[in-house]
Amino acid sequence: MKKITTFLIVGCIIFLISCAKDKDLNKFLSIEIPAGFPQPVYQFTNNQPTQKGFDLGRMLFYDQGLSKDGTVSCGDCHQQFAGFGNLDHATSHGVDNCFGKRNAPVLFNLTFKDNFFLDGGVTNLELAPLNAMTDPCEMANDLNKILVYLKSKPEYQQAFQKAFDSDEITSQKMFRALAQFQGMMISADSKYDQVKAKTAQFTDQELRGYQLFSAKCASCHKEPLFSDNSFRNNGLDITSLDLGRSTITSLASDDGKFKVPTLRNVEVSRPYMHDGRFKTLEQVLDHYQNNIKPNKNLDPLLKQDLALTDTYKADIIAFLKTLTDLTFLKNPKYSEE
């Protein structure tokens, strides 16, 4: 009798524990908006993140099987240590040795953006991966083939079932899981953030750099996201070979304009510019000081002399390095399992 009672009690406890664990996995994950950040644009409407949805998103993100020939995953060109940009690749290396025409953008703080890619062509976080999945120079696949692949894999059947309480695998669920994973990527724990939270202090040089940055750079690279999400021409070429924003809007006044990139984690996400032409931050600042070209759509703010002396440049770079967020760059929850 005693044995049976003990057995029952132990059984109940195990049951309760496993239940609780399962409940945890189904619980909505909270999305913490860092202090000073704006309200998210992507609100996770009808797509409340859960641990299981997030896990499925991560599984998809790192799966090369989503590409045409099984060789390229999202994570191959969006590397965590590079702020989910593509380190040392001016443009990304897709299937069949094809190189795309633009530098892979970093991926974090995406829920705060109202459009994606350097030309802003995609307007909803859920559909951003579609571009890479189907672009002939990236993953070059067909959505129908991706769905056949996912449906054929027992691990996906299981993961979709867990994430969405249904055994039906659809592209909408795939995109929503990816949006959960990518939307939860928040980078807001750099030294800069710690200084703002008064838990760290800038060095003298970093502080000088911050003051210079605020005066000369921050109107476009606006805090706290370090981008104002606008499209501008920054005088790289007299005539831009890549029309950028105007490929989307069909407006000549947008020719050669590109999205102002965030500068968070900029230290680790080289090379720079839409075509990755600059390998170092020094080259970038040299461009702004000496090489601005009179493009017809050159941003008015760049028509003045920024007066960046070598000392100023060094100070600004010291400040930019305080935007590196190691907590984010090394966070195992975003890494391939």
Confirm or reject binding of residue 124 to other proteins (CB under 8 A): yes
- Binding residue for other proteins, selected from 71, 121, 149, 289, defined by CB under 8 A: 121
- Binding residue for other proteins, selected from 52, 58, 78, 176, defined by CB under 8 A: 176
Please give the structure tokens belonging to residue 236: 């790289």
User: CA separation (Å) from 237 to 92, 298, 327?
Assistant: 21, 10, 37
Partners of 28 in the β-ladder? 50
Partners of 259 in the β-ladder? 231
Give the residue with the Cβ less far from other proteins, 146 or 302.
146
- Binding residue for other proteins, selected from 31, 37, 40, 135, defined by CB under 8 A: 135
The amino acid sitting at 191 is K
C-alpha to C-alpha distance for 58 and 138, rounded to whole angstroms: 19
| Cβ atoms of 138 and 120 closer than 8 Å | no
Part in contact with other proteins (CB under 8 A); list of ranges 54-62, 86-94, 170-178, 286-294 = 170-178
Confirm or reject binding of residue 125 to other proteins (CB under 8 A): yes
Give the residue with the Cβ less far from other proteins, 168 or 305.
168
Residue 279, Cα to own-chain centre: how many angstroms? 20
- Binding residue for other proteins, selected from 26, 48, 171, 211, defined by CB under 8 A: 171
C-alpha to C-alpha distance for 50 and 59, rounded to whole angstroms: 14
- Binding residue for other proteins, selected from 54, 117, 192, 334, defined by CB under 8 A: 117
- Binding residue for other proteins, selected from 48, 64, 71, 131, defined by CB under 8 A: 131
Over the window 222 to 251, marking each residue x when it contacts other proteins by CB under 8 A and - when it does not, the resulting string is: -------------------------xxxxx
Question: Which residues in 29-88 contact other proteins (CB under 8 A)?
Answer: 47
- Binding residue for other proteins, selected from 54, 108, 160, 175, defined by CB under 8 A: 175
C-alpha to C-alpha distance for 333 and 74, rounded to whole angstroms: 16
Part in contact with other proteins (CB under 8 A); list of ranges 124-132, 216-224, 226-234, 309-317 = 124-132
**If we measure between CA atoms, which residue out of 132, 90, 106, 120 comes closest to residue 246?**
120
| Cβ atoms of 46 and 180 closer than 8 Å | no
Give the residue with the Cβ less far from other proteins, 161 or 171.
171
C-alpha to C-alpha distance for 206 and 91, rounded to whole angstroms: 31
# residues near other proteins by CB under 8 A: 30
Largest CA distance in the chain: 91
Give the residue with the Cβ less far from other proteins, 103 or 322.
103
Confirm or reject binding of residue 172 to other proteins (CB under 8 A): yes
**If we measure between CA atoms, which residue out of 257, 266, 261, 193 comes closest to residue 227?**
261
- Binding residue for other proteins, selected from 25, 87, 98, 147, defined by CB under 8 A: 147
The amino acid sitting at 304 is Q
Partners of 285 in the β-ladder? none
Confirm or reject binding of residue 126 to other proteins (CB under 8 A): yes
Q: Nearest distance from residue 116's CB to other proteins, in Å?
A: 9
**If we measure between CA atoms, which residue out of 192, 225, 215 comes closest to residue 312?**
215
Part in contact with other proteins (CB under 8 A); list of ranges 3-11, 128-136, 204-212, 327-335 = 128-136
Catalog residues that contact other proteins under the rule CB under 8 A.
47, 117, 121-127, 130-131, 133-135, 142-144, 147, 170-172, 174-176, 179, 247-251
